[in-house]
Structure 1
Amino acid sequence: MKAGVDMGRDKTRRLSGSRHLRQRLVLATLISTGVTIDDIRSGDAAPGLRPYEVSLLRLLDKISDRHTIDINETGTKLKYMPGVIQGVKGLEHDCGVHRGIGYFLEPLILLGLFAKAPRPYRFGSKDPSVDTFRMTTWHMLKHFGVPLEGLELKIDSRGSPPLGGGEVFLRVPNINSTLTAVNWVDEGMVKRIRGVSFSTRLSPQIESHIIYAARGIFNRFIPDVHIFTDHRSGASGGRSPGYGVSLVAETTTGCLFSVDATVSYPSVDEINEESEKPELMSPEDLGVQAASVLLEEVAQGGVIDSTHQGLLFILCALCPADVSKFCVGQLTPHGIETLRNIRDFLNVMFVIKPDPNSNTVTLKCVGGGVNNTARKVS
């Protein structure tokens, strides 16, 4: 696949450091541009790529064809030449326990849209925040012309740190040619709140305490609140105890704001031998915290929550050479860095206009015109 700018496989970008390595690899793959990244944590006590970054490269290796990945012995230098995003039927990938499944889901969603053919994937990792992808991210994609009927994310088992054990099934439809530019500025008013409270290898009563505490916050503002429960034990409960909640606020114009909060024991490596087992945040405190953060997200304004800024910016930049216009709350550091990476890889610039009255930011851009040419490659 090739963007509407002159960035082909004959050019290689030279980058330095580990910042936003995941995003850089995804953008390089989408426009078929090779990258050489030097000095990856070269000054750290443990230099080089982290296990989750190596796992991401293994995933790219599985879903691509005619690509090259070269890592030096210390892991401080990476050469990556993207190939064609093929997808692999029935692919299974062990994400490890160093990062949550969400770390791998976002790049796979972006790459899956531009794959040669839609394929199902099965992932295992430690983080149960896939609820956010299922309840919020999916619906954001429909604004760009992605059919929801082809999207599927099933939680086969939940896992909590430190041992993980979660597993999800993912299916992403590929687009025929391009995404659709958006005009998305009306955030509307919150009309209902939904969510999922979950626990792994613990008493199901924990979920009730989380819900009761969260509703105590929400009921002051809105009556339509429903939080489901998902208790997992045995094989479907992973290998470690933990609990959490994912909450979503839906507005009158169909905008969704989401937050995740989880509690689990740290790994053995993170606990001093002489220290006692740490005291975990109570389910009640977790419910109050999650509900309060969600209300803060809503108060910031815009059409999406702060955690989805980066994905929204990339999707707009991948659109055809049409104008996309949208509104977000205060720009996050991750969002700002995403804008820089989009400029560097896609040659797409955003016009940014802050609104001092609402503290929101309106952004406009002309898409880079990235087509799904993988389907034309035999």
Structure 2
Amino acid sequence: MTVADERSEPERGRARGGDIGALRETLAEVRRVIVGQDHMVERLLVALLARGHCLLEGVPGVAKTLAASTLATVVGGSFARIQFTPDLVPSDIVGTRVYHPGSERFDVELGPVFANFLLADEINRAPAKVQSALLEVMAERQVTLAGKTHPLPRPFVVLATQNPIESEGVYPLPEVQRDRFLFKVRVSHPSAHEELEILQRMSVRPPVAAPVLDPERLMKLQDMAEEVSVHHLVADYVVRLVMATRSPAEYGLRELEETIEIGVSPRATLGLMAAGRALALVRGRDYLLPDDVRDVAVDVMAHRLMLTFDALADDVDAADVVHRILATVPPPVVVWNQGTR
């Protein structure tokens, strides 16, 4: 029996309250540096708790890189930033073998991916070889060099950014790599009020974030997110949302058959569950609600949808397709703790 098991219910409640308080303090510390962009900041923290990678897409200057580096500082652990360029090669990020004449032998030099937080800045500027080198890193959290496998430190997460408006020297991410990202978050321009606050806050002495968590406590919070209770009706709702992208007509969405080429993968099913649980924990609950699933659905599913050629030619937005599915597939009505009051 563990020490945690021997604690009384009030003690466990106080410990849990402290953990939830730490999450709120983490969000507050990041928001002390990042003006606005609450959706992006919350999704970055949810991705960490769900052990998932996050892709931020937005025009230059909307604090994508600053948000990722600030969160890494607040959460603690090692941090590495790679500026992706067209001349990058796989050994630049994962490492390589280096010959040392003095000892007359090859040694393995590990690359910058060996950090708790990897910021892949402008990830869509790197060619296909570099993109493929990231697949093992993101999926298996390990690197194989010279026939030997090197595990990455724990926790490990990739926070990537990309610019959607440039076409010069840009390589679109392959579908298999987009599928590795738990979230793809679109980052928009700030409002006029937020722009004024940015001017007032950042034009004198920009605030500096302070550490709140550490890797060990983050892994504990990740375990807590995995223990969030899921009602079978909510799990069924997750599956119905996913199946609606594969067989739209069966869910009253016949018009989407000409829009969706290939529905989302099973990673979307697992991602909806993991992200929903993490969001519930951030909101201070130990059970998952349909609203949690609905709130993360666009960020989890839209980038995994493959639209038909006609839909792409008509400039159909995958996010609008997911919104249409959410509006049609009814959520369950779940009553928790029934009969206890």
Output the TM-score relative to the length of structure 1: 0.26
Which one has the bigger helix percentage? 2
Which one has the bigger strand percentage? 1
Output the TM-score relative to the length of structure 2: 0.28
